[in-house]
Amino acid sequence: MRRGIALGLILILLLGLSGCAGKQEPAADNASIVVGFSQLGSESSWRIANTVSMEQAAKEAGFSLMMENANQKQEKQIDAIRSFIAYRVDVIVFSPIVETGWDNVLTEAKQAGIPVILMDRMIETQDDSLYTAYIGADFYAEGQRAGEYLVRKADALGAEHLRIAEIHGTTDSTPMRDRQKGFMDVISGDPRFTVIDSVDGDFLRSKGEECAQQLLKQHGTEGIDVIYSHNDSMMLGVLDVLDKKKIQPGKDILLITVDGEKDAVDALKAGRINCVVQCTPDLGPAVMDLVRDLTAGKELPKVNHPDEGAFSDFDNLNDPAVEGF
Ligand code: AHR
């Protein structure tokens, strides 16, 4: 009898504790769903935050996540996808490093009956049935936002002519192509703007630094008015170079960047960067919602974009909404 009371008390205590945690337990049957996730690398703070977002969201949803990091190598991503097919995962999620070269491996996934969700980056293919859905930024709109900021800034400064150097991301990746196109589509009809150079910084801080050195050597410290960087990591490398050369960032050279990581937003608040276009890495929860819907037999929207905007020196930068990740 006394043993029965003790067991009852333990049960009440355990129930009470799980109630205190205030978290919903993942549905029991989610645990049997295996998601194979091929991450493309760890090239930037954005990418690292994106990996964390995926891991946390999978844990919260109760899915088993098999993750492979390809360290910026397309062959490793292809190998990872093949291993997910061999393992017979329920869903494959992957972030393609470049747009081309996926048709064969995705055809294998399709033949094995495993649905594929593209996360963050798109692929170029004649056969849209090779993936079920895309979730990630509208990179073209991001490029447009960068261009629109520049037009507004040129108007405000009364600038007659601005020479722009672009440091672009990984050649042939979706953000590289679309951030460039969106930006050019906004500024190219305007005679005040000339893009004097465009160099590949591969989304890496170290390469951003090298690119800035190379650009300043080529065009002279007075030969560049604007640097447009396709991500914050590369822009932080640019800042290091400008500081060493005693060039005032955000004043002597206007700086426009994309992502919204904390260091870049802090630099914007300090007047060292002029515009930060947002690109959220926190895609994990929305990816897991898609996995849940897919495994429940629901039809997914083909393209899913998060809401994003931009912060710039035209904004009230004391607003608590202006913050980085
Ligand atoms: O694909 C998203 C881009 O990849 C981010 O802007 C960049 O920081 C990352 O490396």
In 3D, which of 320, 318, 315, 310 has the Cα closest to residue 148?
Answer: 310
How many angstroms separate the CA atoms of 82 and 63, rounded?
20
Domains along the chain with CATH numbers: 30-136+281-306 (3.40.50.2300), 139-279 (3.40.50.2300)
Q: Is the CB of 202 under 6 A from ligand 1?
A: no
pLDDT over 50 at 159, yes or no: yes
Structure tokens at 125: 């293919």
Assign 166 a pLDDT band (cuts: 50, 70, 90): very high
Q: Is the CB of 43 under 6 A from ligand 1?
A: yes
9: how many CB neighbours lie within 10 A of its CB?
10
Pairing of strands 275-278, 310-312: antiparallel
Name beta bridge partners: 68. Answer: 38
CA of 169 to the centre of ligand 1 (A): 8
**How far is residue 92 from each of residues 26, 40, 46, measured CA to CA in Å?**
20, 14, 21
Q: Is the CB of 261 under 6 A from ligand 1?
A: no
CA of 22 to the centre of ligand 1 (A): 34
Q: What is the mean pLDDT of the chain?
A: 93
Q: Average pLDDT in the 55-73 region?
A: 97
Residue with tokens 């991500």: 231
Q: Which atom of ligand 1 is nearest to the CA of 120?
A: 1
**How far is residue 178 from each of residues 46, 172, 323, measured CA to CA in Å?**
17, 10, 25
How many angstroms separate the CA atoms of 245 and 212, rounded?
11
- Site to probe by mutation for ligand 1, drawn from 39, 47, 71 as the one with most ligand atoms within 8 Å of Cβ, is 47
Structure tokens at 3: 């043993």
Q: Which atom of ligand 1 is nearest to the CA of 259?
A: 6
Q: Is the CB of 259 under 6 A from ligand 1?
A: yes
- Site to probe by mutation for ligand 1, drawn from 231, 258, 282, 305 as the one with most ligand atoms within 8 Å of Cβ, is 231
Question: What predicted TM-score, i.e. pTM, was given to this entire model?
Answer: 0.91
Percent of residues, the chain, with pLDDT higher than 70: 91
CA of 259 to the centre of ligand 1 (A): 7
CA of 149 to the centre of ligand 1 (A): 20
Structure tokens at 231: 């991500």
How many angstroms separate the CA atoms of 275 and 310, rounded?
7
Q: What confidence tens digit (pLDDT) does each residue in 1-44 have?
A: 344 444 444 444 443 333 333 344 554 578 799 999 999 999 99
Q: What confidence tens digit (pLDDT) does each residue in 252-299 have?
A: 999 999 999 999 999 999 999 999 999 999 999 999 999 999 999 999
Q: Is the CB of 279 under 6 A from ligand 1?
A: yes
